[in-house]
Amino acid sequence: MRELKANSTRNIGSNKQAKRLTQFLFLGILSATFLVASCDQKIENKAWSQEQFMQAVKQGQIESASINMDRTQATATNKQGEQILVDISPSDPSLADFLIQNQVSVFIDSYDSVLYPFDLAWFLVPGAIALAGFAFWIWMLVDCATQESNSGNTKVVWILIILFANGIGALIYFFFRRPQRRQLGE
């Protein structure tokens, strides 16, 4: 009876540790995601006027410009590689000629309105698959951390396999170890 109480106390303690580990991993991944997203913003928050843009082009500060499809905004890249949002006049037909005369590479977005939804699917489908894979990986990590027995080093080994082998480790755990664990009633 005492041995049974000791085992249940140990299991409760290990479940708390597993939950803490899972929470720590989740917070770490979340923090890394926000850090990468905040570091990736190159475009300045303040948009330039067309006059400011034209002045910078005349001074040779602009390397390239990408004009959007409705011709109301452009993204300019200066010589340092920084990107600046520019509000432009769609009624100015000479803008592209002016940029070319000043050795600025010009790119004009032109999407066919019929194909645009299909172009968007090229980003959404892989994104949804990646999100589902990430959710599956987290699910297997949590399942292993909370359900795997503490006998020997099996829990630690499986957590390391899932962590370092990512999706493949999660698949191996799901198809081989998880059914085995359920069959043994661990």
Higher pLDDT, 177 or 90: 177
Predicted pLDDT at 141: 95
77-83: long-range contacts, CB 8 A cutoff, minimum separation 24:
81/42, 82/42, 82/44, 83/42, 83/43, 83/44
Going by pLDDT thresholds of 50, 70 and 90, the confidence category of residue 31 is low
- Non-local CB neighbours of 150 within 8 Å, separated by 6+ positions: 10, 11, 14
Chain centre to alpha carbon of residue 179: 32
* Mean predicted confidence (pLDDT) in 127-137: 94
Going across the sheet that includes 105-108, the strands are: 83-87, 73-78, 62-67, 105-108
Q: What is the C-alpha to C-alpha distance for residues 123 and 118, in angstroms, rounded to an integer?
A: 9
Q: What is the pLDDT of residues 140-176, one digit of tens each?
A: 999 999 988 887 888 999 999 999 999 999 999 999 9
Q: What is the pTM of this model?
A: 0.39
Q: Answer whether residue 8 shows pLDDT above 80.
A: no
Backbone angles phi, psi at 11, to 5 degrees: -65, -40
Predicted pLDDT at 137: 96
* Mean predicted confidence (pLDDT) in 43-72: 81
